[in-house]
Chains A and B, each alone.
Chain A
Amino acid sequence: MTVTTRGRSAGLRRVPQYLALLAYVVFLAFPLLWLLSTALKTPREMALADPTWIPREPTLANFADAFGEQDLVGAATRSLVVALASSVITVVISLPAAYAMARYRGLVNRIAIGWVLVSQVFPFILIIIPLFMILRDMELVNTLPGLVVVHVTFTLPFALWMLQGYVRAVPAELEEAAAMDGAGRIRTIVGVVAPLLAPGVVATLLFAFISSWNEFLFALVILQDPDVMTLPLTLVRFTGPEGVARLGPLAAASLMATIPSLIFFAIIQRRLKSGLMAGAVKG
Chain B
Amino acid sequence: MRMKSALAAAAIVALAAGCGSGGGGDKGGSKAEPGEPVKLNFLSLAWQKESVAANKQIVDEWNKANPTIQVTYVQGSWDNVNDQLVTQFAGGTAPDVIHNDSPALSGFASDGYLLDLSDKLPAELKSDIPQKSWDTVTFDDGKGKQGVYGVPFLQESQVIIANKKLLDGAGVRIPTPDNPWTWDEFSAAAKKMTKGGTFGVAWPMKSPVNKTLNLALNFGGTFFQTTDGKTTVKVGPEEKQVLQRIHDQLYKDKSADPAALGQGTADPLPAFYSGKFALLPAGVYLRQQVAEQAPKGFEWVTLPPLKGTTADQGAVSQTLSVAQDSKHPDEALKFISYFLNPTNQAKLAKGDWLLPTSVKAASDPSMTTKENGWDVATASAKNLVVAPFLKVNGFDEWKSKVATPALQEYFANKISIDDVAKKLVDDGNKVLERYQR
Contacts and interface: CB of A to CB of B under 8 A. Distances in A.
Interface of A: 43-44, 46-49, 65, 69, 77-78, 81-82, 84-85, 88-89, 92, 125, 128-129, 132-133, 136, 139-148, 216-217, 220-221, 223-228, 236-244, 246, 249
B83 to A, nearest CB: 7
A48 B270 contact: yes
A242 B211 CA distance: 13
B110 interface: no
B273 A89 contact: no
Contacts of A144: 16-17, 19-20, 22
A148 B17 CA distance: 9
| Residue from the set A148, A216, A220, A224 with the largest chain B CB neighbour count within 10 Å | A224
Given A81-B15, A221-B84, A225-B23, A44 B79 contact: no
Interface stretch (B112-120, B170-178, B287-295, B330-338): B287-295
A132 B91 contact: yes
A223 B264 CA distance: 31
Contact of B74 (A44, A77, A84, A226): A226
Contact of B19 (A125, A228, A241): A228
A88 B12 contact: yes
A141 B90 contact: no
29 contacts: A44-B292, A47-B273, A47-B289, A47-B293, A49-B271, A49-B276, A89-B9, A89-B13, A132-B88, A141-B91, A142-B25, A143-B22, A145-B17, A220-B83, A221-B88, A224-B41, A224-B74, A224-B88, A225-B27, A226-B75, A228-B20, A236-B77, A236-B79, A236-B80, A237-B75, A239-B79, A240-B47, A244-B266, A246-B49
| Residue from the set A49, A148, A249 with the largest chain B CB neighbour count within 10 Å | A49
A85 B93 contact: no
B227 interface: no
B77 A146 contact: no
Interface string B278-300: 00000000000100111110000
A228 B207 contact: no
A49 B12 CA distance: 48
A81 B12 contact: yes
A224 B294 contact: no
A145 B21 CA distance: 9
Given A145-B16, A146-B20, A242-B264, A46 B73 contact: no
The 9 closest A-B pairs by CB, nearest first: A144-B20, A228-B22, A143-B20, A47-B293, A241-B78, A221-B87, A85-B16, A49-B274, A49-B270
A142 B47 contact: no
Chain B interface residue count: which class?
35 or more
A244 B289 CA distance: 10
Given A89-B13, A144-B19, A133 B90 contact: yes
B78 A85 contact: no
A140 B16 contact: no
Contacts of B270: 47-49
A128 B84 CA distance: 10
Contact of B93 (A44, A84, A141, A244): A141
Interface in B236-282: 264-266, 269-271, 273-274, 276
A82 B48 CA distance: 29
Interface in B62-84: 72-80, 83-84
Nearest to A130: B90
Nearest to A226: B74
A102 to B, nearest CB: 22
Interface of B: 8-9, 12-13, 15-17, 19-25, 27-28, 41, 47-49, 52, 72-80, 83-84, 86-88, 90-93, 95, 207, 264-266, 269-271, 273-274, 276, 289, 292-296
Contacts of A227: 22
B91 A148 contact: no
B87 A128 contact: yes
Contacts of A142: 22-25, 27, 93
Contact of B91 (A69, A136, A139): A136
Given A244-B265, A246-B49, A129 B87 contact: yes
A156 to B, nearest CB: 16
A72 to B, nearest CB: 13
Given A44-B294, A226-B73, A140 B90 contact: no
B269 A47 contact: yes
Nearest to A225: B22
A117 B52 CA distance: 45
Contacts of A129: 86-87, 90-91
A280 B104 CA distance: 63
Nearest to A78: B19
A104 B320 CA distance: 59
Contacts of B90: 129, 132-133
A143 B47 contact: no
Given A47-B269, A221-B87, 18 more contacts: A43-B292, A44-B293, A44-B296, A81-B12, A84-B12, A125-B83, A133-B90, A141-B93, A142-B23, A142-B25, A144-B19, A220-B83, A226-B75, A238-B47, A240-B48, A242-B78, A242-B264, A246-B49
A243 B77 CA distance: 11
Contacts of B273: 47-49
Given A141-B91, A217-B83, A226-B73, A239 B47 contact: yes
A104 B41 CA distance: 53
B22 A85 contact: no
Contacts of B88: 132, 221, 224
Contact of A69 (B49, B80, B207): B49
Given A44-B294, A128-B87, A240-B47, A220 B80 contact: yes
B37 to A, nearest CB: 17
B12 A139 contact: no
Nearest to A221: B87
Contacts of A147: 20
Given A47-B269, A133-B91, A144-B16, A69 B21 contact: no
Contact of B295 (A44, A65, A140, A148): A44
Nearest to B51: A240
A118 B37 CA distance: 49
Contacts of A239: 47, 77-79
A221 B83 contact: yes
Given A49-B271, A69-B49, A220-B84, A141 B25 contact: yes
Nearest to B89: A129
B75 A139 contact: no
